[in-house]
Chain A
Amino acid sequence: MEDNTIKQVLKKHLKTTGNENFNYQIIQQLNLEQKKQRPNLFNETSIINWFLVVSGFVLFFYLQQESKIDANAISIGCIICAVPLYLLIFNKIYSLKKNIQ
């Protein structure tokens, strides 16, 4: 029995599913899962990364300052650091709104 014969025997006797909707059921399931995914305004991971970078910058400039920083500058720094958090909240509100629609 040659290799080619083995190949042909195996090929000829492959089982078939017999389910006419086999492919359709898989594709439909994938489409449903895609629809279920929450629509987002921003990618949350990138926001967290941005948050870390901004915080790093603020900390860096704070340490560079020789003179004491006044209360205004500190509050501005805090607001800058908090911006990504606002974006995360907007993102949640947006996805909830879309889901309700």
Chain B
Amino acid sequence: MEKLTKDDVHPKILEALLADTNISVEDALENEMILNMGPQHPATHGVLRLLLRLDGETLMGCVPELGYLHRGYEKLAENMSYYEFIPHTDRLDYLSPMSNNVAWALAVEKLAGIEAPPRAQYIRMIISELARIASHLVAIGSLAMDVGALTVFLWTLREREKILDVWDILCGARFTNSYTRIGGVANDAQPEALAKVKWFIDQYLPNLDECERLINTNRIFVERLDGIGVISADEAIDIGLTGPSLRGSGVEFDLRRAQPYLFYNEMDFKVVTYPDGDSLARYFVRADETRESIKIIRQALEKMPQGDTLLNQPKKVLPKKAEIYSKMEELIHDFMIVNFGINPEPGEIYHAVESSKGELGFYLVSKGDGKPWKCKIRSPSFVNLQAVPQLVKGHMISDVVAIVGSLDPVMGEADK
């Protein structure tokens, strides 16, 4: 391995890394060692770069460096219409594109003061729960892979493929879907897709149990996670953790329950919490949350009404494609929306949903134009990553992968 030098690490980062010691940059390599982890490392879940300060194998400090996947989303959003930004939201948290679509659509609808029809909202609820399952499956699988259990990864990815197949039927894309529209969804859910969802939720639980049987009693897996990266409830709130990472510390905070959107207030589900606050608890929360998602999907499928899936409001919502080709009026509306945008009245809103990683919020400022004046994405991965230096301190170097894996960051979202 090559020695890390001052050329590879910016002096300001070194300064932050060595902030609480009296050793200088020059003799850093004599007493303690500085180790570079990432941005190309299999266990950093993308392009996260961690600079670790080590005393032997014990971690004395850690400075995460982000920005290797900074793609300028917020600048892009300011330069395109609300509709055009839908495909970009897919690629934020690319493990659960559907729930990002839903979050964006809900935020814009709140800004424009419209609401999608009930059937569309039920479809949105089903797909965001499916997305949550898909994302948690990758999180569980890759966490297991990081600590050495490759089989689980293949098994969870097999389950995930089934969800991607549902999306393939639903909207023709298996990965980056762009399925929601402002004021509804792109097309009604086909009977085949719903049948596939039913089939999936029936066979999912036994398969999850099978995965859990493999690792929950596995001594290596448990001991690599148990008591690693402990964070108390107060500290977790202070550092801004949300989602499964916060609920792993015993805080019963879930936006689906606290500030219900869609029809979550009519659903019967439990907010899963585990009190320990370590990596194992965060893993348990994720696994159990998929069970609750299955419950929600089952109820939603039962309660789902018939009806339209797109709001009929020509000034704000794109008309259906078939009508654009056959009717003059719709053609004019389509032209106006595509060229000039939906022009929500001036104002600003913040709308947050509970995505698979935590609180995904969009802060939108409208000046009455077709483009947002300002769009800020409050991404859960970004905030959750901030806890890494605090969590890894005092642990061994091999625990870093377990801690980062249990926080489940997605760099597309963290770097924006």
Bind each other? no
